[in-house]
Structure 1
Amino acid sequence: MSLYRTELRRLAKRRFTRWMTVLGLLVLAAVVVGSFFSNQKIDAATVAKAERAAEAQWQRDVQINEQFRAECERAKTAGTAQPGQFPDDCSVITPPPREAIEAQWFLPSTFDFRENFGFTLLPLAAILALVGFIVGASFVGAEWSTGGMMNLLLWRPKRLTVLLTKLAALLTGVFALAVTTTALWFGSFWLVANLRGTTEKMTSGAWQSFALTGLRGVALVVVLTAVGFGLASLGRHTAMALGGVVALMVVGQFGLGILLDLSGVKFAEAWLLPTYAIAWMRKKVVLENWDACQATYFGECKPETMEITWQQSSLLLGVGAVLILGAALWAMRRRDVA
């Protein structure tokens, strides 16, 4: 019997794997349903209604402006105006021009696939990565804590082969889940855009950009799944991976962020891991330091900036995953299994 197929079946039949997958899919489904009901298709009647609302708002602004100007003139004539209450010349109080009130301000939310879909790929990757990390940690952690790993090594006494086969089966299952879910995500939001928005201006370049972002999301899911597997294998318990991540996020990220902020460190976000995950998905993140004002020729103040690119993020994620998995393999080879 193939060890790889056995591990695939074990992964699929684990109740924890099934429930975590269902929970993750329910959260994603809730996002799609929420997007559907919070958006509306824009038609001629909706635009006409928005134009009437803009006209009514302008009329109210004109009325309020006239009242304020009349109050100013009465107070100036009676000499009862308080310092700073009105301008020196009441004639400067004029209503806004009609074109200042735009009808688009009064349009309901609509889902523009080209403009909005890219932002949905980050939460998709984050939720799938969380599911993959927890499933990966529990898949090998449960084997250690229940003694299943020792029994498996009696049947197949090659330590590294067993561990790498379990990892390969895990990554295959998570990859299939991520690809399938991403495809369904594309289809679901395409349907939302057709029914509650628009799919106009979708070019081949836009599709290529979305597809590459989706592939980066799948890669992020696979890498974090491998990291969860490696941490749990190192600690020989699921809690090692989950506890390590909680400690990293609470102490290493939030605590470090507060410390860097209090210390006045420039671009403190560059020291936080979520910044690199976002840069990986969005291709780059631009950090700004408003304490350093760079005056332009026209006197405009522009902040000092720092770019974090997806290439830098890939290096950090890749090196981190390789180190953790390498340590797990070394520990499997060197440490006592019992």
Structure 2
Amino acid sequence: MSLYRTELRRLAKRRFSRYMSLLGLLVLAAVVVGVFFTNQKIDAAQLAKAERQADQQHQEQVRWSEQERAECERAKAAGTPNDGRYPADCSVITAPSRDQIEAKWFLPSSFDFRKSFDETLVPFAAILALVGFVIGASFIGAEWSTGGMMNLLLWRPKRLTVLLTKLAALLTGVLAVTLPAAVLWFAGFWAVATFRGSTEKMTSGAWQSFALTGLRGVALVLVITTIGFALASLGRHTAMALGGVVALMVVGQFGLGILLSMASVRFAEAWLLPTYALAWMTKKITLEDWNSCNANYYGECNPATMDITWQQSSALFSVGVVVILGAALWAMRRRDIS
């Protein structure tokens, strides 16, 4: 009997795996439904209504500026101190021009597929990565805690082969859920854009960009799943992975973020793991340090910047997977099975 097929069957029959996968898919479906009902398709009537609201806003601004300018002139003529309420020259109190008040400010939310879909791939990857992490940790953690791993090694004593086969079955199962979910995610938001927004200006380049972002999301799910599996195997218990992540996020990330902020460290976000996950999905993140000033030729003060790219994120995640999975394999080979 093939060990790989056996592990796949065991993964599929585990109720925890099925329930967690179902829960993750339900959350994704809830996101799509929520976006559908919170967006509207813009028609000519709504555009005309927005123009009227913009005109009304402009008129209110004109009336307000005229009243304030009159009050300023009266206060100036009476010599009443204004405590900094009015400028020295009352003529500078003017209303914004009509073209500065845009009608789109008064339009309801509408889902533009080309502009907005890329942003939805981040929560998609985050939700499925969390599901994959928990499933991966529990899949191997339950084997250790119940004694199933020891029984399996009695008739299949090749330790590393057994562990890697379990990992391969796990990644196959996660991939079997993630890929159809990604296709449904694309289809769901295409439907949202069709009925509650716009699908205009979609080119082959835009589709290619979305596809590459989706593939990076799938890769992130597999990486996080592998880390959860390796941590649970290293600690020989599901709690090792879950507790380690809680400690990392609460102590290592929130605590470190607060400490770096108090110490006024430049680009403190560069020390936090979520920054690199986001950079992996969006290809590049630009961090800004507003405590520094780079003056340009026009005298403007621009903050210093630091770019974090998906290449840097891939290097960090690759090293993390190699170190954690390597430690799990080393522990599997060196430690006693009891």
Match of 1:323, SS? helix
Residues 93/326 of structure 1: CA separation in 2 closer, same or farther (3 Å cut): closer
207-216 or 92-101, which deviates more: 92-101
Q: CA deviation at 1:224?
A: 0.8
Query: Aligned pair 1:233/2:233, yes or no?
Result: yes
C-alpha distance in structure 2 between counterparts of 1:152 and 1:39, whole Å = 53
Aligned to 2:144: 144
Aligned to 2:275: 275
Aligned to 1:245: 245
Query: Aligned pair 1:209/2:190, yes or no?
Result: no
15-24 or 83-92, which deviates more: 83-92
Aligned to 1:25: 25
Residues 66/280 of structure 1: CA separation in 2 closer, same or farther (3 Å cut): same
Residues 3/261 of structure 1: CA separation in 2 closer, same or farther (3 Å cut): same
Residues 290/80 of structure 1: CA separation in 2 closer, same or farther (3 Å cut): closer
Aligned to 2:223: 223
C-alpha distance in structure 2 between counterparts of 1:265 and 1:311, whole Å = 24
91-100 or 9-18, which deviates more: 91-100
Residues 89/303 of structure 1: CA separation in 2 closer, same or farther (3 Å cut): closer
Letter in 2 for 1:180: P
Q: CA deviation at 1:216?
A: 0.4
Query: Aligned pair 1:325/2:329, yes or no?
Result: no
Size of the aligned set, in residue pairs, is 338
Letter in 2 for 1:157: P
TM-score normalised by length of structure 1:
0.96
RMSD: 1.4
> Which runs of structure 1 show a deviation greater than 6 angstroms over 4 or more consecutive aligned residues?
none
Q: CA deviation at 1:98?
A: 1.8
Query: Aligned pair 1:193/2:197, yes or no?
Result: no
Letter in 1 for 2:156: R
C-alpha distance in structure 1 between counterparts of 2:303 and 2:78, whole Å = 48
C-alpha distance in structure 2 between counterparts of 1:71 and 1:99, whole Å = 26
Identical columns (%): 75
Q: CA deviation at 1:108?
A: 0.8
C-alpha distance in structure 2 between counterparts of 1:297 and 1:150, whole Å = 71
C-alpha distance in structure 2 between counterparts of 1:260 and 1:78, whole Å = 53
Aligned to 1:262: 262
> Structure 2 stretches of 5 or more lacking a match?
none
Match of 2:266, SS? coil
C-alpha distance in structure 2 between counterparts of 1:170 and 1:190, whole Å = 30
Aligned to 1:49: 49
Q: CA deviation at 1:89?
A: 4.2
190-199 or 323-332, which deviates more: 323-332
Q: CA deviation at 1:63?
A: 2.0
C-alpha distance in structure 2 between counterparts of 1:292 and 1:20, whole Å = 46
> Structure 1 stretches of 5 or more lacking a match?
none
C-alpha distance in structure 2 between counterparts of 1:291 and 1:76, whole Å = 38
Q: Is the 1:72–1:81 contact (alpha carbons within 8 Å) kept by the matching residues of 2? A: no
C-alpha distance in structure 2 between counterparts of 1:169 and 1:4, whole Å = 6
Query: Aligned pair 1:157/2:157, yes or no?
Result: yes
